[in-house]
Structure 1
Amino acid sequence: MNWYIGVLKNYVGFSGRARRQEYWMFILISGIIGAIINLIQMLVGMQIPWLTIIYTIATLLPNLAVTARRLHDTERSGWWMLICLVPFGVIAMIVFLCKAGTSGTNRFGNDPKYSVNN
């Protein structure tokens, strides 16, 4: 849960780098929370999924920020997120997000895997 809270606190942090663990733990916990919200909406019988819409909007900026930082760790610009707009771009994006980050310092900052903060 600390990974999730850490990403939410750094919701406008588009600079720097994010480890695979930070990114995927955020995605996992966010998915679990989304599933719980959807279950609650289904049990209550909501016709319009307002809670899902609110949650998605609330986590959009942190999600974009952690994705940009994850791409930075693989020596790519955050603009690579736009590859999802082309056919099969989502597959390429998943490959980029699963790759190990560059070891040592790159043009986006120090290696988060070996930083003192983690």
Structure 2
Amino acid sequence: MKSMLLPLKRYAQFDGRAGRKEYWMFQLFLFLVILVGYAGMGIGVAMESNLLTGLFGVLLGVFSLAVIVPAIAVGIRRLHDIDKSGWFLLVGLIPFVGGLVLLVFNVLPGTPGDNRFGPVPPTV
């Protein structure tokens, strides 16, 4: 649980490195929160409750805005861990291929030892 919320504590820290565990646990946290939000919206739709559907929609929107900076920051730090520039995150904007390239980058193990972006990230 601690590693799921670590990127929120390092909210706008774009320097340094983030290990695979930190990155993927944060992605799992985002997935679970969004899953609960969409489940709530689905329940609202099933109950034909515009209030419940709208409430969960607004909560998801606010949550998305709140985590966009930490999500970008942990993505950049993850790229730093494999000794790539944070600008490689923009590869994700390329349709079809960009997401696959970033997936491969994020699955790769980090650089052993220090690299130009700093020391090995501590394991959480």
TM-score for the superposition, normalised by structure 2: 0.86
Q: CA deviation at 1:71?
A: 0.2
Q: 2:40 is paired with a residue of what secondary structure?
A: helix
Question: Do residues 66 (structure 1) and 66 (structure 2) align?
Answer: no
Distance 1:60 1:85 in 2: 15
Map 1:1-118 → 2, pairs under 5 A: 1-45=1-45, 46=53, 49-87=57-95, 88-112=97-121, 115=122, 118=124
Q: Which runs of 4+ in 1 moved over 2 A?
A: none
Give the AA of the match of 1:109: G
Q: 2:74 corresponds to which letter in structure 1?
A: V
Q: Percent identity?
A: 37
Counting matched residue pairs gives 115
Structure 1 counterpart of 2:119, which letter?
Answer: N
Letter in 2 for 1:102: T
Of 59-68 and 85-94, more deviation after overlay is shown by 85-94
Partner Cα distance (2:63, 2:117) in 1: 30
What are structure 2's unaligned runs of at least 5 residues?
A: 46-52
Q: CA deviation at 1:40?
A: 1.4
Instruction: Tell me, yes or no, if the aligned pair for 1:75 and 1:106 is still in contact at 8 Å.
Output: yes
CA distance in 1, matches of 2:21, 2:13: 17
Q: 1:35 to 1:77 in 2, by over 3 A?
A: same
Measured on the aligned residues, the alpha-carbon RMSD in Å equals 1.5
Structure 1 unaligned spans of 5+ = none
CA distance in 2, matches of 1:102, 1:53: 36
Aligned to 2:49: none
In structure 1, what is the Cα distance between the partners aligned to 2:7 and 2:102? Answer: 20
| Aligned-pair CA distance for 1:55 | 1.1
d(CA) in 1 for partners of 2:94, 2:25: 26
SS of corresponding position for 1:107: coil
